[in-house]
Structure 1
């Protein structure tokens, strides 16, 4: 039997799934395994939400490793949002863990810069992604979220990109205040001006400026 949990925002248009495994698969192997599991997992549900499958290792009730993302974030996100979703399996995560703010900030910088890898900033972004955290922050400081930009040909649409940027920045800034946020609804309540981005609506100038201001706050906290 495959043990898995659904987690994330109750209004999510896809279904975030963590499948528990004994050993994390390699990235390419994980894609094949995810496709194999998707049909079996989908049989538990009546809707057609696309599954977004990740893999993790559980040790004594705590998620210690994940293929994608941050283990401590995934652990606490499941605890916080398990009840929002139909669950074929009883909750296997037994306790929250202390969040790793440094790891979160590293991820935020990496995720955001990756979206700019096919823009006119491509060369600088590529170098920054190979560098340390300060290099990534230095590159972020050169980007202006308040100005529209062509993201080029990407798997994600513009509204998906801005949704991800708002989500990541919102989580990071709140975590710096000691607040853990794991849903679009909670982030939107904490940062109301992120609303359009989080709802995947066309981005307004006000929302763009709010994201730029948030990026500056992120840099003021982290960039030395």
Structure 2
């Protein structure tokens, strides 16, 4: 018997993002990874031309209570809002939205963006910042000039990284303004300047992305004094 799963995210994604609903989350990362691979293999025939990005989630009373990757509130609401964008085999498992944790979103996006920069000329400062406090992370992001970066590392697709950075920046900035978005098209509609990056267009000048990075940092600096936690938490 195949597991119940749900497709989520952008309607025009190159890969397919799936969440498998399970009764109990495995205890260790190795066990989670093993189960995700096992479940992915069980449905691979349904997506013959797609790379499957699998996640695991525990759902109770119509909302998520635990996830393998990402944050519970973001994944929960993404599953709800993007359900109709895909051809689904199962009914929407989510019927209750969760309050978004905006501070956590900014903390997570900060770490993700820095991680993308860990194989560039900023690698020493970035690696120190990833081990350091939020203030140090902000200081490093303020020094980054995306216009000067020609590669994000060997075997790393340049356009893929620009897309990922643009997605995190757009989603975070909009969430700070009170707007939840979960697809590339939704972000591009609000921020047309990010469209080229979100849709992986070649030979894209990074100046617009640089300006959104600075805008993200400024918002984070303004939020920081009111944040009760300055590092990622469950």
1:175 aligns with 2:187: no
Q: CA deviation at 1:15?
A: 0.6
| Runs of at least 5 residues in structure 1 that lack an aligned partner in the other structure | none
Match 1:222 to one of 196, 220, 223: 220
1:71, distance to aligned residue in structure 2 (A): 0.8
Do structure 1's residue 24 and structure 2's residue 34 form an aligned pair?
Answer: no
Residue 59 of structure 2 is aligned to residue 58 of structure 1 = yes
Deviations 1:27-70 (A, max 9, x none): 2223322222223223334x411110011111211112211111
1:22 offset after TM fit, Å? 2.5
Structure 1 residue 136: Cα displacement: 1.4
- What is the distance in 2 between the residues matched to 1:174 and 1:34? 31
- Kindly state the Cα deviation for residue 194 of structure 1 after the two structures are TM-superposed: 0.9
List, as ranges, runs of 4+ consecutive aligned residues in structure 1 with deviation greater than 3 Å. none
State the partner residue of 1:184: 184
Asked whether the 8 Å contact 1:144–1:212 carries over to 2, the reply is yes
C-alpha contact 2:63 2:96 (8 A) present in aligned 1:
yes
Q: How many residues are treated as equivalent by the alignment? A: 220
Alignment check: 8 A CA contact 1:10 1:84 kept: yes
Alignment root-mean-square deviation, CA: 1.5
- Comparing 28-37 and 102-111, the one that deviates more: 28-37
Structure 2 residue 142 is the aligned partner of structure 1 residue 159? no
Q: Which runs of 5+ in 2 are unaligned?
A: 225-234
SS of aligned partner of 2:201: coil
| Counterpart for residue 211 of structure 2 | 213
Secondary structure of residue in 1 paired with 2:207: helix
Which residue is 1:102 aligned to?
Answer: 103
User: 1:179 Cα deviation (Å)?
Assistant: 0.6
1:203 Cα deviation after fit: 4.3
Aligned-partner Cα distance in 2 for 1:145–1:122: 13
Residues 1:43 and 2:68 aligned together: no
- Aligned partner of 2:133 in structure 1 is 132
**Residue 77 of structure 1 pairs with residue 75 of structure 2:** no
Instruction: Please report how far the alpha carbon of residue 182 of structure 1 lies from its aligned counterpart in structure 2 after TM superposition.
Output: 0.5
Q: What TM-score does the superposition give when structure 2 sets the normalisation length?
A: 0.89
Name the structure 1 match of 2:10: 9
- Cα distance in structure 2, aligned partners of 1:186 and 1:51: 22
Equivalent-residue separation in structure 1 for 2:149 and 2:132 (angstroms): 26
TM-score by length of 1: 0.92
Structure 1 stretch displaced more, 195-204 or 21-30: 21-30
> 1:149-171: CA deviations, max 9, x gaps?
321225x4111100000000000
